[in-house]
Amino acid sequence: MKKVLIITYYWPPAGGGGVQRWVKFVRYLREFGWEPVVYTVSNGDYPIFDASLQEEVPPGIAVLKQPITEPYGIYARLTGKKKGEKVDANFLSQGKKLGWKEKLAVWVRGNFFIPDARFLWIKPSVRYLSGYLKDNMVDAVISTGPPHSCHVIALGVKRKFGLPWIIDYRDPWTQIDYFDDLRLTRYARHRHETMEKSCLDNCDVIVTVGKTMAEDLESISSTRKVVITNGYDEADRAGVGQASDGEFSVVYIGTMNDARNPEVLWKTLAAFRDSGHPLAEAIKIKLVGKPEKVVYDSVKKYGVESMVEFVGYVSHKEAIRVQNTASVLLLVINRTSNNKSILTGKIFEYLASGRPIICLGPKDGDAAEIIDTSGAGWMVDYDDTTHLTLLLEELYNRYKQGTADTPLRGIDKYSRKFLTGRLATLLDEVTTKKQIIG
């Protein structure tokens, strides 16, 4: 069986979509003739933990772990965070208004932590993997980012061993929506851009999670791009019931921050209350995950606390159960400049539940295309209370009639096993190409 080295920062006990993507690939790669070898950190500073994901890693998988020096202590001191308080690596993407201390931290991060805050892991990792590969050769390498330091590690391995290399872009690098907010010097910007181009030009294939991201990367590199989205795993639903939770519930699962704060929903709920609408008593919004303080503040501002339940973070398995019992699933695309390219992994698990989806976001984006073509639900503009009101009324009537589920079209291509087969095909292609050339 061929072997592939997978370089990733996020791995159980870390939680979140990026972890799920690669745990699922690793889970099924053996079925397609590939033995994964995972390289990750032994002491990652993860914002979310979900130890249950470790149960999905097949027995006998080699997981190589090396320590990392994290520079977030500098950021914590600059911003006055308490000892032990977690630093969210995505604070810039959350749309928060920054104070002067945070602005200083952003400047330090952008100009000294290149390509990101995991840059101190690059040289030790290349050194460690070089020693490992001398005695344990693999047939191909995959790096997944962010953090994009993983790609720089893979570049070092590529230069030493000439192995076929696939880059997995879960989020953009220099094209990320907050890149221009990093307060970069000309030198730092040049380093970011040069480093990214060097990685993209030297790999064999670039995999992205959505087509818009793949199209955007054409301006940087001519290397072949292939879209392999996130997906859903049929195995996750084994033994998980589909029965309603007994109330008209609108469920959101995931992180909710400034950029994803659905003010249009809070306004709509407040209008239901003020007009004496039956939905004011019947509806229950369930937020499952890590909402930022701004969300609590918005709920309080509109006086809709009685209609909103803050469930908190739950395991991936429990999240599946909760979404399966919902009446409606809510998805919010970040309200940012690059929102058309955002394709959250949660959308595919939502699809598998068969529950109707209301998605707040651009009607011409990647998420909209998937929702429209699958018949899974509706897109609503960030400020369109009229459309949202009509949808909630219609779905409430369906709920009362017992006809809430949505007939779906063509979602099999988003199953994790099918997607892993596509990844294995790419691995076969790049390794065969190497053999032909060699």
302-351: pLDDT as tens digits: 999 999 999 988 888 888 889 989 999 999 999 988 899 998 889 999 99
In this structure, the answer to whether residues 270 and 222 fall within a common structural domain is no
Tokens of 94: 């959350």
- The rounded distance, in Å, linking the Cα atoms of 104 and 182 is 10
In this structure, the answer to whether residues 141 and 239 fall within a common structural domain is no
Q: Is 212 helix (H, G, I), strand (E, B) or coil?
A: helix
Tens of pLDDT, residue by residue over 87-112, are 444 444 444 566 667 777 778 888 88
The DSSP secondary-structure symbol of 80 reads: T
Question: Predicted confidence band at 159 (pLDDT cuts at 50, 70, 90)?
Answer: very high
In this structure, the answer to whether residues 179 and 256 fall within a common structural domain is no
pLDDT the model gives residue 225: 97
Between the two ends of the chain, the Cα-to-Cα distance in Å is 20
pLDDT the model gives residue 406: 67
- The rounded distance, in Å, linking the Cα atoms of 200 and 385 is 42
Say if residues 4 and 138 touch (Cβ distance below 8 Å).
yes
Tens of pLDDT, residue by residue over 257-276, are 999 999 999 999 999 999 99
In this structure, the answer to whether residues 227 and 253 fall within a common structural domain is no
Tens of pLDDT, residue by residue over 126-154, are 999 999 999 999 999 999 999 999 999 99
Tens of pLDDT, residue by residue over 169-223, are 999 999 998 888 888 999 999 999 999 999 999 999 999 999 999 999 999 999 9
pLDDT the model gives residue 86: 45
In this structure, the answer to whether residues 392 and 269 fall within a common structural domain is yes
pLDDT the model gives residue 88: 46
Give the residue-averaged pLDDT of 117-125: 95
In this structure, the answer to whether residues 88 and 171 fall within a common structural domain is yes
Domain count, the chain: 2
**Helical spans, DSSP H, in 50-170:** 72-79, 100-112, 122-135, 149-161
What CATH number is attached to the domain comprising 105?
A: 3.40.50.2000
Residue range of the domain that includes 109 = 2-231+415-437
pLDDT the model gives residue 108: 82
Output the average pLDDT for the chain: 89
Burial 82-99 (b: 16+ CB within 10 A, else e): eeeeebbbebbbbbbeee
Q: 354 vs 233, 234, 323, 347, 403, CA distance in Å?
A: 14, 13, 10, 11, 12
In this structure, the answer to whether residues 42 and 191 fall within a common structural domain is yes
In this structure, the answer to whether residues 91 and 138 fall within a common structural domain is yes
The DSSP secondary-structure symbol of 337 reads: T
Share of the chain above pLDDT 90, in %: 70
Question: Predicted confidence band at 79 (pLDDT cuts at 50, 70, 90)?
Answer: low
Top-confidence residue, 43 or 103: 43
